[in-house]
Structure 1
Amino acid sequence: MKTIVRKSKDLLYLRIARGIERQIHEGLLKIGDKLPSIRMVCRQHGVSMSTAQQAYLELESRALIESRPQSGYYVSYCPHRQPAFPETSRPSQPGAHNPRDIVDKVFRTIGNNDITLFSLSVPADELLPIAKLNKGVVQAIRTLPGSGTAYEPIQGNEKLRRDIARWSFNWGGNLGEQDLITTAGCMNAISFSMMTLVRPGDTIAVESPVYFGIIRLAESLGLNVLELPTNAKTGIEIDALKKALATNKVKLCLLVSNFNNPLGSCMPDEHKKAVVALLQHYNVPLIEDDLYGDVYFGDSRPKCCKTFDESGLVLWCGSVSKTLAPGYRVGWVAPGQFKNDVIRMKQVHSISSTTLTQEVIADFLENGRYESHLRRLRQTLHTNFLQYIRAISDYFPEGTKVSRPQGGFVLWVELDKRIDTMELYERAIKKKISIAPGRMFTLKRQFDNCMRISYGMPWNEQLDNTLKTLGNLIKSMLVS
C-alpha cells in the first residue's frame, strides 16, 4: 500500500489524513472501525468542513477507508494481510455425490440457542423489526375481511403485488401488479416455476457452488443438474454457459444473480445483459433467484437479469425471508410469458397464499418502514462483513481464501487442501459452533476444503472469540 505523499506542510487536510493513516498502519484503527464524523473532525482539529472532507477523500483515494450511505466512514484496509479471493470453480471432477445427509446433519441444530449458527444464512432476530411486525399483524386482523381468514385471489394480495411492482423500479423492473404472483417464500416461487418449465430427465444449468435447496428441489423433480464454473466476484462464467447452451440439452437455467448464496458473487450488469441475450438466442428460460438483491452495501441496488428481459423468458423470484420476516413465508414471482401456467401450478398446489402475512408485508412496503429497516440492516451487515474479514485475517491460517460479497449474508471460505470441512464441522460442533461444509453445495466431488459462514448475527466480542476458536481448530487440523 502506497503511503500518502507529503505535498506540503501547510496542507491541513494531508496532515489529518496522514495521522489517520498512521493509526491504521499501527493497528490502532482496524478494518470495520467507524471513523469520527466530518463535524467531529472539524471540532477535533479546528478546521473547516471542506478541509475535513478533503482529508477523508484523500484516504478514500488510497483505499484506506470507505464511505457508506447515511452511515459514515469506515476503515476498509488491513495493514497486515487480507485473505485472497477463492478460485473460480471448475466443476469437472469425476464421481457423483449427494449432499442430503450432510444438509440434514447440519440443520438439526436450527433453533438451538446454545450453538453459534454460522451455518444459517438468515438475519438474527435482533436485526429484525419484530415489534413493528407484531403491530402490523394486529392492524391486519382489524382491517381484513374475516380478520384475515378469507382466501386471497389466486394471484395473491393485490396491495402486496402493487407494492412489489413499485419496489421493482429500484432496479429497472418496470413491472405492474398483474405481472406478479405471490408465493410462500422464494423457494416456493422457484418450485412453481421449475415444475411449470421442466419434466423428469431434463437438464438445468446452475452456478457452482449452488444453494443446497436448489439441489434438493431438482432431485425431487427427477432433473439432471449441470454445474457451471463460477467466479467469486462476477458469478457464472459466460463462456461456459454459452458452451452448455450450444449443446441444446439445457432446458432451463437457474441463477442467483445478486450476492449468490453461498459464493457471494454479483453479476455485473454487462454479464446479466449477456446472459439474457444468450438465453433468448437459444430460447431457454431463466429462473432468477433475487432473494438477496435488497441487501446491498453500495450506493444503489444492483439491477437484475429481469431488467434486460424483453422476451418474457426470465422468471424473477423474490421474498422478504432474508430481509424482514423469515417465518412469514411471503414471496413472489414475475413469470413473464409463463404467467398463466404458473398461476395454474399455484392453484393446483396451494390454491391461495397466506392472507394475514401478505397484508402485513404490504403495509411495511407501502408505508416506508421496509426501506427504513433495510438501511439499518445493510449498515449492520456491512460492518459485520468487515469485522469477519478482519477476524479471519487475524485468526485463520495463512493462505485462507475468502469471498468479498458487496451484499447478502454469507462468506465462502476456501481453506488449505488438507482440511476436510466435514471433519471440521464435527470438531466445531463439539465447541458449539456450526458451519456449512462446502460439500453441501454441490453434486460433484469438490469443495471438500470449503465452507460457508453467515455474518447475519450482531457483532460482539463473543462472536470474535468464536471465530478465533474456529481458526484455532483449523490450525490444529493442519498439525495433527
Structure 2
Amino acid sequence: MNYSNFGTKFTQPNGITQLMEDLGSANASNNPNIVMLGGGNPAHVPQVNAVFLDELQKLVASNKVSQVFGLYDGPTGNDEFRAALAKQLNSEFDWGLTTQNIALGNGSQANFFVLFNMLAGKMSDGSTKRILFPLAPEYVGYADQGLSDDMFVAIKPDIEILNTPSGSKQFKYVIDFGSVEKVLAEDSSISALCVSRPTNPTGNVITDEEVRHLDALAHKYNIPLIIDNAYGDPFPGCIYTDANLTWNSNIILCMSLSKLGLPGLRTGIVVANNEIIKAIGRVNGSMVLSPNAIGPSLVTRLINEGELLPLCKNTVLPFYKNKAEIAINLFDEIFADLPVYLHKLEGAFFMWLWFKDSKITSEMLYQKLKEQNVYIIPGHNFFIGIDDSWEHKHQCVRINYANDEATLRKGLEAIKALIM
C-alpha cells in the first residue's frame, strides 16, 4: 500500500503501539501463566468499582443513560461535567476557573496529539517549532505524536543515588536546569515545555520548587508549560510525597479519568486559558464531532456531591501506596546482592529499574522475558529525544506494580534469573 506521509509515519512500529499490542494480546489469550507487568492498566479496586457500578445504575434508573447514549455534547465536552469540575477545582485551589477553561477529549493520548501539533511542528511562517521535555525519561506515548519529524527535544537528567534509611538501593532523576536554560536561550524553536507529574515511567514527582522554576522559565520565554497530571491530585491522587498542584493561565494542565479505574471510557481533561480551550474544541469538532460522554456522566454526581475526592484520598491513594510498599520490599529482597537500582517511588504505579552494570540491554531483556510470557516495557522507548549512544538509556525497564504480590514477585524473579 502506498501511504501518504501521515500514513507512513503512523503505521510504523513504535513503543506505545508495542505496549498496547502486548496488553491486548495478553488480555485476549486468557493464558493464566502470563505475567503482565508491562501495561498501564490501573488495578481493579473493588470499592471503587462498586461505586462506579452504582453510578451507572443511577444513570439507568433516572433515564439519563438514554441522553448520554443518544445525544451529542458540544466539541469541548459535557457541559455539566465541566461546570462541576470547575467548581470542584475552584473550591480546592481557588483558581477562578469557568467551563471555558476546561475541554474534554477521548483520552489523554488524543488530547496530547492535539496539543503537541497545535503548538509545534511546521508553522505558518515556514519555521519549525518543537516541544522541550526538561526531564527524561518521559511517557512513551508522547514519542510518536508529532506530525513533523524531530518535534521533541529532551534534557538528560542528573542522577542522584539516594541514601535510604533501610539501605534500599534507590536513585532519583533531577532536572538539570542549567541545560534546560541553555537550550531555551539558544534554541528559538522551543514552543512549549512539557513534564508529567507523577512521571510515567519512573514515578518521579518533581518538587514544587522545580514546578515554580519551570513556570518562571515558561513565562520568561513566552511559551506554555504543559503538565501531565494523569496520576496526580486531586484525582486519582496517586502521590506519595509532598506536592502541591498549581495552575495559571500559562499552564496547560492535563488530567484523566483512566487511572481512577475507567481507562476504557477514554476521558482526558485539559485545563487551560480560554484561547487553548476554544482551539481544542475546534479540532475536536473536525476530528470526532464530540468527545465521549459516558465517563464524564458517570462521575459528575460524585463531584457535585463531594464524594469523588474522599474516594480518592481514603480508598485509591491507600490502595496504591500499599502496592508501592510491597514493590519496594520485593525489590529489596530479590535484588539485594545485585547492582540493580530502583527509582524512588513517589507516585503513579510503576517501578523503574536500572541495571547499572548489566551486559544485557533492556530490549534484549524484554524479548527474552516475552518468550517466558513475562511482559515488561524496555526503557529506551521512554528516552524521547535522547541519543541512542547514552548507555543508561538501554539499562532501564518499566514495570507496572498494580498487580497482586504473587504476580509481581514472579516477574521480578524472572528478571533476576536473566541478568545474573
> What TM bracket, shorter-length normalisation?
0.7 to 0.9
- Shift of the alpha carbon at 1:234? 6.3
- 1:361 paired residue number: 299
**Aligned pair partner of 1:401 in 310, 328, 341:** 341
Aligned to 2:117: 195
- Partner deviation per Cα, 1:126-182 (whole Å, 9 max, x = no partner): 457334323323332434384321111222222211232234344564423321111
Provide the residue aligned with 1:413 in structure 2.
Answer: 353
> 1:457 is matched with which residue?
403
Q: 2:316 aligns with which of 362, 365, 377?
A: 377
Q: Which runs of 5+ in 1 are unaligned?
A: 1-98, 476-480
1:204 corresponds in structure 2 to 131
Give the aligned residue type for 2:403.
M
Matched, 1:329 2:269: no
Give matches, 1:142-181, under 5 Å: 142-144=62-64, 146-148=66-68, 149-169=70-90, 170=92, 173-181=95-103
CA contact (8 A) 1:318 1:331 kept: yes
1:474 and 2:413 matched: no
Is the Cα contact below 8 Å between 1:402 and 1:411 reproduced in 2?
yes
In 1: Cα distance, 2:148 partner to 2:299 partner: 31
Q: Cα gap change, 1:186/1:102 in structure 2, threshold over 3 Å: closer, same or farther?
A: closer
* Offset at residue 314 of structure 1 (A): 1.5
Q: Write the deviation string for residues 273-317 of structure 1: whole angstroms up to 9, x where unpaired.
A: 1111111111112222111113334476x32352xx3xx222111
- Quote the sequence identity (%): 20
CA distance in 1, matches of 2:40, 2:174: 19
Q: Secondary structure, in 3 states, of the residue corresponding to 2:154?
A: strand
Provide the rounded CA distance (Å) in 2 between the counterparts of 1:222 and 1:260: 24
**CA-to-aligned-CA distance 1:335-364 (integer Å, 9 cap, x gap):** 214232222222222221222332112123
Question: How far apart, CA to CA, are the structure 1 residues paired with 2:241 and 2:346?
Answer: 11
Matched, 1:387 2:312: no
Q: Does 1:228 align with 2:123?
A: no
RMSD: 2.5
TM-score, normalization: structure 1? 0.71
| Number of the residue aligned with 1:296 | 238
Higher alpha-carbon Rg? 1
Shift of residue 109, structure 1, vs aligned partner: 2.3
Cα pair distance change 1:331/1:297, threshold 3 Å = closer
Q: Which residue of 2 aligns with 1:252?
A: 192
Conserved 8 A contact 2:19-2:377: yes
Tell me the CA shift for residue 244 of structure 1.
Answer: 1.2
Match of 1:67 in 2: none
Q: How far did 1:395 drift?
A: 1.3
User: Are the equivalent residues in 1 in contact too, given 2:203–2:350 (CA < 8 A)?
Assistant: yes
- Partner-residue secondary structure (3-state), 2:192: strand
2:212 match: 273
Tell me: CA distance 1:229–1:168, structure 2 relative to 1, closer, same or farther (3 Å): farther
**Aligned partners of 1:354, 1:405: CA distance in 2, in Å?**
33
Does the CA contact (< 8 Å) of 1:123 and 1:323 recur in 2? yes
Match of 1:398, SS state, is coil
Q: Which residue of 2 aligns with 1:242?
A: 181
The 1-side partners of 2:262 and 2:64 are apart by: 20
In the alignment, residue 275 of structure 1 is paired with which amino acid? L
Secondary structure of the 2:194 match is: strand
1:448 aligns with 2:394: yes
Q: Which amino acid aligns with 2:363?
A: M
2:51 counterpart of 1:132: yes
1:357-399 Cα distance to aligned partner (Å, 9 max, x none): 3211212323344334323222121121122122122212522
**Aligned mates of 1:226, 1:299 — CA distance in 2:** 28
Deviates more, 1:337-346 or 1:421-430: 337-346
Alpha-carbon distance between aligned partners in 1 of 2:120 and 2:375, rounded to the nearest angstrom: 35
Q: Distance in 2 between matches of 1:263 and 1:280?
A: 27
8 A contact 1:106–1:434 mirrored in 2: no
C-alpha distance in structure 1 between counterparts of 2:349 and 2:238, whole Å? 10
* Residues 240-298 of structure 1 deviation map (CA, whole Å, 9 limit, x = unaligned): 22111112221122111x21011222121111111111111111122221111133344
- Residue 217 of structure 1: SS of its match in structure 2? coil
Q: Answer yes or no: is 1:110 the counterpart of 2:23.
A: yes
Match of 1:120 among 23, 39, 42: 39
Tell me if structure 2 keeps the 8 A contact 1:155–1:181: yes
Going from structure 1 to structure 2, the CA distance change for 1:269 and 1:462 (only over 3 Å counts) comes to closer
**2:363 aligned residue:** 422
Query: TM-score, structure 2 length as denominator?
Result: 0.80
Is the CA contact (8 Å cut-off) linking 1:253 and 1:285 kept in structure 2? yes
Instruction: Find the aligned partners of 2:79 and 2:149 in 1 and give their Cα distance.
Output: 34
1:438 paired with 2:379, answer yes
- Count residues with an aligned counterpart: 369
Alpha-carbon deviations, 1:216-244, whole Å to 9, x = none?
112x3445211112356465332222111
AA matched with 1:453 = I
Q: Does the 8 A contact of 1:185 with 1:331 survive in 2?
A: yes
Per the alignment, do residues 305 and 217 of structure 1 end up closer, same or farther by CA in structure 2, a change over 3 Å counting? farther
- CA gap of 1:464–1:403, structure 2 versus 1, over 3 A, is same
Kindly indicate whether the alpha-carbon contact (under 8 Å) linking 2:114 and 2:283 is maintained by their aligned counterparts in 1.
yes
Contact 1:204 1:223 in 2 (8 A): no
